[in-house]
Structure 1
Amino acid sequence: MSPADDEGPTGVHCRLDELLADRGMTLTRLSELVGVSIVNLSILKNDRARAIRFSTLTAICAALDCEIGDLLVRAD
């Protein structure tokens, strides 16, 4: 599989669910804070995203008061 292949697992796990739970925040509230639709956040949360803008990534991390490495980790 080539790096540009959009099929199959990405090897990256998004910990958005855990971070939201730890902070008592809903996906709806995060959507309001970062200006990203609930649908797109849900795609990210469920590890179905193929890409993310750096601006979106930094906005999510700012809203959750976390580092990028807290949000995105290598999948085992």
Structure 2
Amino acid sequence: MGIIVNLDVMMAKRKKGLTELSQEVDITMANLSILKNNKAKAVRFSTLEAICEALDCQPGDILCYVKDDGKGDGAE
């Protein structure tokens, strides 16, 4: 599995919508949605910092590592 993005969880905890967070972080809603839906291949530290600032959280509240069980289903 690798790195999992739990941005949607933190947004719900902080009661912030996509539009509001997008404006606060100065990132397009499309790019924020890609990150929120765990489709991003990378994230800039400056973006992660801005998200943490806006949501008053730590990077570990948003990102977590899940070890790959090696049974992959062939899908990417």
- 1:54 is aligned to 2:54: no
**Distance (whole Å) between structure 2 residues aligned to residue 47 and residue 75 of structure 1:** 13
Q: What is the number of equivalent residue pairs in this alignment?
A: 67
Structure 2 spans left out of the alignment, 5+ residues: 68-76
Q: What residue identity is the alignment partner of 2:38? A: D
Q: When the two structures are superposed, what TM-score results if normalisation uses the length of structure 1?
A: 0.83
Taking the TM superposition and a 5 Å limit, the aligned residue runs for 1:1-76 are 11-75=2-66
- Moved segments of 4+, more than 3 Å: none
Q: When the two structures are superposed, what TM-score results if normalisation uses the length of structure 2?
A: 0.83
Paired residue secondary structure (1:48): coil
Paired residue secondary structure (2:53): helix
Paired residue secondary structure (2:4): strand
Identity %: 51
**Distance (whole Å) between structure 1 residues aligned to residue 63 and residue 17 of structure 2:** 18
Q: What residue identity is the alignment partner of 1:50? A: K
**Distance (whole Å) between structure 2 residues aligned to residue 64 and residue 29 of structure 1:** 11
Alpha carbon RMSD of aligned pairs, Å? 1.1
Structure 1 spans left out of the alignment, 5+ residues: 1-8
